[in-house]
Copies of this chain bind each other. A is one copy, B any other.
Amino acid sequence: MDTLETRELRYFLAVAEELHFGRAAERLGMAQPPLSRAIQQLERRLGVALLTRNRRGVALTGAGEVLLHEGRAALDAATAAARRTRRAGGADAPGGSGNRLVLAVKAAAAHDLLQKLLDAYAAQPDAAEIEVLPSGMCEQEEMLRDGRADVALMHAPFDSLAGFDSEELMREGQIAVLPAGHPLAARRTLTLAEVGDIPGLPLARWPRHGVYPPGPGPEIRDQTQLAQLIALGRTVTVFPESARSWLWAAHATVPVTDAPPVVTHIAWPPHSRSVALAGLIRTATGL
């Protein structure tokens, strides 16, 4: 009566994202007519218009926008429930809820901290097995939300901690990473404005939630590619200090004085009850 079936949510989200019944149906692996009907039934059940089908395409109504956000959260929660339950499956120790934790980490970020954390936790007597799940740029949020991960290392202000519990682990400044031979590499400090306005050396751009910000610089896919482009003198970037651990000889670094500090947090879904997770958090905050 007042709860939505996940099938309805899946269908609506597909249509709301594609804004096209045919493509949405294809994505769902079904035919278009039953999808149309399902959406109509959903609208009738809710007593609300979700989509406006006008000439040439489909658009979301206000209520449709709401359902797009809320529905995504609900669907993530449902798949998270399935995944976490499955993961807790093998371990049937009474009381304990699973002896394996999945930790999502941005690839090549906070490497030293991660190493220390894993070592310290593994030394605990009742340590669970930790699976490190490398993730893309801002993917940890999503992974925590849909249950692919149980806990994550996240970096404010890049990642949003909204909706998670978290503890601060480390705070560091940022540095500009330049080609070794560049004139500015001789400077003792730089400002964001200076780094962003180097003639012939545009700032690298990497995706935030799947989209690249506008600008002249190259679009970065992974850290290796970024390192190479900098070494070749094609781009420049601003990174947390801990990036020094993966720099090449062909790189130079200069502190950026007015860049906001990068704060590494350990974050987890707020309703978590696992003892293994509690142990990991305790270890992390005690470092």
Residues on A lying within 8 angstroms of B by beta carbon are 2-7, 9-10, 46-50, 61-63, 65-67, 69-71, 73-75, 77-86, 88-89, 91-98, 147, 162-165, 269-271, 273-274
Contact = CB atoms under 8 A, between A and B. Distances in A.
Given A70-B85, A80-B74, A62 B162 contact: no
A77 B73 contact: yes
Given A46-B85, A62-B93, A97-B66, A4 B6 contact: yes
Q: With a 10 A CB-CB cut-off, give which of A10, A73, A74, A81 has the most chain B CB atoms.
A: A81
Nearest to A67: B85
A182 to B, nearest CB: 42
Contacts of A67: 81, 84-85
A88 B63 contact: yes
Report the 8 A-B pairs with minimum CB-CB distance, sorted nearest first.
A48-B89, A163-B270, A70-B81, A74-B77, A162-B270, A67-B85, A66-B88, A77-B77
A79 B70 CA distance: 10
Contacts of A70: 77, 80-81, 84-85, 147, 271
Contacts of A270: 162-163
A285 to B, nearest CB: 16
A6 B75 CA distance: 10
A79 B3 CA distance: 4
Contacts of A91: 62
B9 A92 contact: no
B89 A46 contact: yes
Contacts of A81: 4, 9, 67, 70-71, 73-74
Contacts of A95: 62
Given A4-B6, A71-B85, 13 more contacts: A2-B82, A2-B83, A5-B6, A47-B86, A48-B86, A62-B94, A62-B98, A63-B88, A63-B97, A67-B81, A77-B78, A163-B163, A163-B165
Contact of A92 (B7, B62, B74): B62
Nearest to A93: B62
B162 A92 contact: no
A66 B94 contact: no
Most-contacted residue by chain B among A48, A70, A71, A274 (CB, 10 A): A70
